[in-house]
Amino acid sequence: MGEFELIRQFFMPLARLHGPHSIIVGPGDDCAIQRVPSGSDLVFSLDTLVEGVHFPFHYRPDYLGWRALAVATSDLAAMGADPTSYTLALTLPEADESWLRGFACGLGKAADAFGLVLAGGDTTRGPLALSLQVHGLIPRGAAILRSGARPGDLVAVSGTLGDAGAALDYLGAQACSDPQSFSADEAFVLKRYHHPEPRLELGAGLRGLATAAIDISDGLLADLSHILEASSVGANIEVARIPVSAALKRLKGTGARDYALHSGDDYELCVTIPEANWTGAPPSLKQQFTVIGVIEEAPGLRLDGAAVVSESDTLGFDHFRRKS
Ligand code: ADP
Ligand code: MG
């Protein structure tokens, strides 16, 4: 199969979204064209995933398609943007049709779930890697940045933390194995890793309410620290308040806390919100969040009043930093 046949067969179908969208020219021309309504800002973000670095070797292609787009789209959720389109740069060792079918299926399911249409891409041969650029729209000036947190704001997180990190313990060589060979709790955390769900409705619901937001990809401490740095503030977190799933508690016992603090891949949101905005927020939105702490003037991150001293806790994952 040639490059153009491959694009035609597996990716062109993803360029047709059921329902209205703002792509005027999709794949097939020199560029794609998306119309940006006046009064909107275009919000976009690029993520690259490399086999063996961001996902295991021989990872199931349908899982990869979903996970790659979900991870990229999570950044739109963290800004409060509504997804519109994406482009895909795919590097493949070979044109394996069954792999491509699985990948396109997972990707298409995710795109439909998030309201994204494929606008174009690039296809090359080499070690397996993909880059996804996602585009979204937001009313002008309404994007939620990392830099808006102010002393007194509450710190809240969505969902439960640590699940996807715990899944890494069960992935190992079993990345392709039958999910039914796992216990219900193991299957729960594995699903959290394989099938992240960007918190798009929550992000959009926080417009005008939250002062800062970030999606938790590297771990709560690391990602909250990015907000603190960008906003020139500090925070105190009450560790006992951090939401942890029953499955994680059963699997890891007292160790669950460390997963919730340090491990990433959950793609939940961490937000700061003035108390008055929190009080007045719709109950349906508040239900999805847990308040875990407060923003303070003194820089640095504290857990139950004690400073977090380890740099590796607050810096998060860095591809180029040497491990000590
Ligand atoms: P050019 O040489 O002009 O850069 P390409 O040959 O790379 O164009 O791509 C031709 C068309 O196919 C472009 O419109 C591009 O967006 C689209 N395309 C290439 N690869 C993909 C892909 N993986 N998914 C979707 N569209 C793709
Ligand atoms: Mg061209």
- Read off the pLDDT of residues 24-57 as tens digits, 9 standing for 90 and up: 999 999 999 999 999 999 999 999 999 999 999 9
Q: Is the pLDDT of residue 194 over 60?
A: yes
SS (H, E, C) 140-162: CCCCCCCCCCCCCCEEEEECCCC
Q: Is the pLDDT of residue 131 over 70?
A: yes
Domain total for the chain?
A: 2
Residue 216 near residue 77, CB atoms below 8 Å: no
* Best of 17, 31, 90, 122 for a ligand 1 pocket test (most atoms within 8 Å of beta carbon): 122
Lowest mean pLDDT segment, chosen from 1-15, 160-174, 186-200, 296-310: 160-174
Residue 288 and residue 192 share a domain: yes
H helical segments located in 195-310:
200-205, 220-231, 246-252, 256-262, 275-280, 283-286
Q: How confident is the model at residue 21 (pLDDT cuts 50, 70, 90)?
A: confident
Residue 150 and residue 104 share a domain: no
Q: Domain span at residue 45?
A: 3-139
Q: Is the pLDDT of residue 175 over 50?
A: no
Q: Enter the tokens of residue 124.
A: 């090359």
Ligand nearest, relative to CA of residue 29: 1
Residue 282 and residue 165 share a domain: yes
* 320: in domain: no
Which CATH number is 250's domain given? Answer: 3.90.650.10
Residue 146: HSE in the Cβ half-sphere, 13 Å Cα cutoff: 14
Whether 201 is in the pocket of ligand 1, judged by its Cβ within 6 Å, is: no
Task: Single out the residue of 139, 306, 302, 289 nearest to residue 207, CA to CA.
Answer: 139
Which CATH number is 57's domain given? Answer: 3.30.1330.10
Domain end: 99, 117, 139, which one?
139
Report pLDDT for 173: 44
Residue 191 near residue 57, CB atoms below 8 Å: no
Lowest mean pLDDT segment, chosen from 151-155, 167-171, 192-196, 279-283: 167-171
Report pLDDT for 208: 97
* 324: in domain: no
Work out the percent of the chain whose per-residue pLDDT is above 90: 86
The distance from CA 284 to its chain's CA centroid, rounded to whole angstroms, is: 22
Q: Which of ligand 1's atoms lies nearest the C-alpha of 15?
A: 25
Whether 5 is in the pocket of ligand 1, judged by its Cβ within 6 Å, is: no
Residue 187 near residue 304, CB atoms below 8 Å: no
Q: Is the pLDDT of residue 259 over 80?
A: yes
Lowest mean pLDDT segment, chosen from 19-23, 171-175, 261-265: 171-175
Residue 170 and residue 109 share a domain: no
Whether 30 is in the pocket of ligand 1, judged by its Cβ within 6 Å, is: yes
* 97: in domain: yes
Report pLDDT for 178: 61
Residue 181 and residue 110 share a domain: no
Residue 81: DSSP 8-state: P
Residue 117 and residue 151 share a domain: no
| pLDDT digit string, tens, across residues 264-286 | 999 999 999 999 999 999 999 99
Mean pLDDT of the chain: 93
Average of per-residue pLDDT across 173-188? 73
Whether 289 is in the pocket of ligand 1, judged by its Cβ within 6 Å, is: no
Q: Is the pLDDT of residue 2 over 90?
A: no
Q: Is the pLDDT of residue 313 over 50?
A: yes
* 127: in domain: yes
Q: Is the pLDDT of residue 315 over 90?
A: no
CA atoms of 66 and 206, how far apart (whole Å): 25
Report pLDDT for 316: 62
Residue 236 sits at φ, ψ, to 5 deg, of -120, 130
| CA-to-CA dists, residue 297 to 152, 232, 236, angstroms | 8, 8, 10
Atom 2 of ligand 1: nearest residue by CA position: 30
* 176: in domain: yes
CA atoms of 244 and 256, how far apart (whole Å): 7
Whether 178 is in the pocket of ligand 1, judged by its Cβ within 6 Å, is: no
Atom 1 of ligand 1: nearest residue by CA position: 30
Residue 240 near residue 156, CB atoms below 8 Å: no
Q: How confident is the model at residue 320 (pLDDT cuts 50, 70, 90)?
A: low
Average of per-residue pLDDT across 203-214? 98
* 322: in domain: no
Task: Single out the residue of 91, 120, 113 nearest to residue 15, CA to CA.
Answer: 120
